[in-house]
Structures are given as structure tokens and as C-alpha cells.
Amino acid sequence: MKVLKFGGTSVGSINNIRKVKEIITDGNKKIVVLSAMSGTTNALVQISELIKNKQVNEAFQNIETLHEKYKLVLDELIEETSIKLDVTNYIDSVFDFLKSCTSKKHSELLYNKIVSQGELLSTYFFTKYLHQEGVNARLLPALDFMRIDKTNDPDDFYIQQNLQRIIDQALPADIYITQGFICLNAFGEIANLQRGGSDYTATIIGAVVKAEEVQIWTDIDGMHNNDPRFVENTHAISNLSFDEAAELAYFGAKILHPQTVMPAREANIPVRLKNTMDPESYGTLISKDFKGEGIKAIAAKDGITAIKIKSARMLLAHGFLKKVFEIFEKYETAIDMITTSEIAVSLTIDDDKNLNAIIDELEKFSTVEVDNQQSIICLVGHLVVRHHETHRLFQVLQDISVRMISYGGSNNNISLLVSSNDKITALKCLNAYIFDFATA
Ligand code: ADP
Ligand code: ASP
Ligand code: MG
């Protein structure tokens, strides 16, 4: 069985919804994971913000505007009277719920309930649309099986047991539809897998059902060699290893949620990235195999904080690094990059929730400098460090100001830290030196 995930744009217009139907009705049994229609989750986040700021009238207006959008989709997509009535009732109940939230006190749970509505809406009307078209499809509610544990990792045993149970209980179907992104937390409350989390839902499900393949269908023809939002003339990479794809996703390639590759890598399930708007194009196949050498792709991750910790003594004393790491461990704050000199250690974090407490503790035995708004630029490939073309990277350094370099830590990755203001220049420069040069 395959698991196919369709993202926001793929279910974001009538035309695309029809394309998704064509893609999935190939006669093979499958599980289909859907995101919310594009723009919906952002709109729901904004509604939740307005409620938090007690801007009730504005929240109401935004809810009405979103409701109108869904009524239009419904009018165009569903013609069959009894199905239309069902979908109208469902959509109305969702928007009544949202309106009822405007008088509630803001909480994380309320936010989670509000943002979950996008996937609930898209899966409901898509399943009903398939019924209208004579497709034997069943909706499997994600909240009946998808759960994370106290450390926010998927609870694989619970997911496996419950998914199997509800598939067994459901009437046989050719296509099972479920919501991406949403889940229950360890206390049974509505939660989610963070923004962009539907990709992660797909590989979690793929791993527990031992799928032959997971496909992520989106609005571009696979993983490109640089961020197409900032750099022109990027191209899709046909093959990536799990390790390479995991690095790119973790370091900012938006096409994949940062954790997506992990369940697939553990279960050795290939992940194929495909374009809903151009199903014939090859896309990208992510598997255990390494193909080719050298730098294959560049990605960038924003919102990074750099911390320079200088030892109060002249040289880094024995035990200094241990003390530093223990503080980050205590505050459960992951370190992404690290470099050391004789008297200082520089490192980066992307979660600055506990930054002040961390600095207070570090300052007990060192001087600390903090730089916000940094970006990590990550160069990913196979055997990148020893590859003969990698030296070109260093020519770039004359054109951009690099704050830190991490080189040699892994076979797959070289990372640079730059100010976020320099990110786009750095991406373009690296592209020119590494890829344009190679093809010139
Ligand atoms: P979906 O809604 O289908 O999940 P996303 O917007 O999350 O789609 O991801 C697809 C987008 O990711 C592309 O449209 C592209 O702009 C962006 N993107 C960023 N980096 C890359 C990359 N290296 N390769 C391909 N797409 C990328
Ligand atoms: N709808 C969610 C979001 O916009 C999840 C996803 O699209 O993957 O973040
Ligand atoms: Mg996405």
C-alpha cells in the first residue's frame, strides 16, 4: 500500500482538487493524507491571534470571510443535492464552532482546536466529492489514531494499533482519506505536528503501515538544488539519500517538514516528491541509496541565535565545554552549529525560549555575546568535504560575511552562519560558485 500526501496548493482550488482525484484513482488501494486548503491555516492562526488580543469584531469578520470562501468551493465542487446538504451542514458547524471561540479565553488548547479546522474541512469535503464521483473512499479521522507522546514524538505503538483497528472496522474502501498535521497529545487533547506537519503525518503513517512508498505531492517538481523562492534557475534533484534529504529539510528546505524523513529512514520506506500540477515529471526519489558526490543542494534556516561564550580564564579550561553543554541540556535547547577557539566557543540555537535563563547561567563563569537574526546556510551532498569541487565554497567567502563555519562534522553537510540580511546574497553567490560554475 502507498501513502500519498497532498499539500495546501494541491487542494487549494477546484481545478487542483480535480487533479488530485485523477492522480489517486489509479485502481490501487492507498491512504491519502490531506493538508488544509492553501491560506486556511494562516487565516486560522490569524483568527486565533485576534481572539487572543480580544479583537472580537475583527475575528468575526475574518471567520465570515473564510466561510464565504468555503461556500464558493462547495457550490462549484458538489452538485449532488443530498451530498451538498451534508457538506453545507458540516461547513456551517465548523464556522459556528469558530464563532463560539471568539468569546473564549485564549489558551494553547484553544489555538490548537482553531488551527485543526482546516484539515477537518478539506478532508470532509474531499471525501464527499469522491463519493459524488463514485469513488469508494472512507474518511479515517486522524484524531482516532494519531498521537504524540510527552516528548512530542509520534507514539508509534498507539498509532499502529488504532489505525489498524479503525481500518478493520471501516467498510472496505479503495481509498482511505485522513487529515495531516493534527493529532492528540499525550493527555488526549487536540495538538498538531507544527506548521507544515502534514508531510510528517504521511511518513509516520507510512512507517506504521509498512507502506511500499510515501509520496509527497506539492506545487513543485521535487527538491530543488537551492531555495526557488530566492534564487533563479534552480532545478529538481532526481535522487537523494535519506541523510541528505533529512539535512535539507531540517535546515530549511520548506518543501519538507523538518522531521519528515525520520520515520521513513527508520523504516527504510522510499519517499517520492511529486508535482500535482505536473504529475509526469520525475520529481525526487529519497531512499537509502547515495547517488553522486559533492554538493547537491543548498538550504537556509532563519531565526537562528548565535551565542559566543568566552572563558573567564585565558585558555579554555578542562571541563569548560562540559559545563556549557550541561546548561543547554538542562533547558532542553538543541545546539545546531558549534565552533571553538582557544578562549571561546560559539554555538547556535533556533529555540530561544530559555535564552535569558541560559545566559544567566553561562555568565557565572564566562562572558557571553548574543547575535539574533542569523541564518544557517547548509550545503548538502555526499562526501562533500573531500570532494574536489568543494574548495569553490571558500571563494565565496570574499563576497559575503560569514560568522561561523562548520566543516568536517559530517560527510553530508557544510554549514555557514550569516546575518539574515545577507542570506539571499549568500544563497545566490553560493549558487553561482557551486552550481553555475560546475555547469559552465
Ligand atoms: P505544500 O503546501 O504542498 O506542503 P509547501 O509550500 O510547504 O507545499 O512546500 C513547497 C514549496 O517549498 C515550494 O513551492 C517552494 O517554494 C518551497 N521550497 C523551498 N525550498 C525548496 C527546495 N529546496 N526545493 C523545492 N521547493 C522548495
Ligand atoms: N495546514 C498545516 C499548515 O499550513 C499543515 C500543512 O500544510 O502541512 O501548516
Ligand atoms: Mg508543506
Nearest ligand by distance to the CA of 12: 1
Q: Which atom of ligand 1 is nearest to the CA of 9?
A: 2
Strand order of the sheet with strand 366-382? Answer: 335-340, 344-349, 294-311, 366-382, 413-419, 404-406
Q: How far apart are CA 55 and CA 185, in angstroms?
A: 29
DSSP E strands: which ranges in 57-145?
137-139
For 85-116, letters b (16+ CB in 10 Å) and e give: ebbbebbeebbeebbebbeeeeeeebbbbbbb
| Distance between first and last Cα of the chain | 43
With contact defined as beta carbons under 8 Å apart, do 208 and 155 qualify? no
For residue range 364-390, what is the model confidence (pLDDT) as tens digits?
999 999 999 999 999 999 888 777 777
For residue range 321-373, what is the model confidence (pLDDT) as tens digits?
899 999 999 999 999 999 988 789 999 999 999 999 999 999 999 999 999 99
Residue 21, C-alpha cell as written in the block: 482525484
Q: Do domains 2-219 and 297-439 have the same CATH topology?
A: no
* One-letter identity of residue 342: E
Residue 385, C-alpha cell as written in the block: 568535504
For residue range 226-258, what is the model confidence (pLDDT) as tens digits?
999 999 999 999 999 999 999 999 999 999 999
Pocket of ligand 2 (CB under 6 A): 7-8, 35-36, 41, 118, 180-181, 195-198
Q: How far apart are CA 342 and CA 348, in angstroms?
A: 18
Residue 83: pLDDT above 70? yes
Instruction: Give the model's pLDDT for residue 45.
Output: 98
**CA count, 13 A, side-chain hemisphere, 19:** 20
Which is more confidently placed, 21 or 317? 21
Closest CA relative to residue 378, chosen from 296, 264, 262: 296
Tell me the mean pLDDT in the region 271-281: 97
With contact defined as beta carbons under 8 Å apart, do 59 and 100 qualify? no
Pocket of ligand 1 (CB under 6 A): 7-10, 35, 196, 218-220, 223-224, 227-229, 253-255, 299
With contact defined as beta carbons under 8 Å apart, do 146 and 182 qualify? yes
Instruction: Give the model's pLDDT for residue 439.
Output: 54
The pocket of ion ligand 3, defined by CB under 5 A, consists of 7, 196
Q: How far apart are CA 108 and CA 116, in angstroms?
A: 12
Strand-pair category, 239-241 with 182-184: unpaired
Instruction: Give the model's pLDDT for residue 280.
Output: 97
Instruction: Give the model's pLDDT for residue 437.
Output: 64
Q: Where are the domains of the chain?
A: 2-219, 297-439
Residue 440's pLDDT band (cuts 50, 70, 90) = very low
Assign domain 2-219 to its CATH architecture: 3-Layer(aba) Sandwich (3.40)
- Alpha carbon nearest to ligand 2 atom 6, residue: 196
Instruction: Give the model's pLDDT for residue 204.
Output: 98
Centroid of ligand 1 to alpha carbon of 65 (angstroms): 26
Residue 316's pLDDT band (cuts 50, 70, 90) = low
Q: Say yes or no: domain 297-439 is CATH 3.30.390.50.
A: no
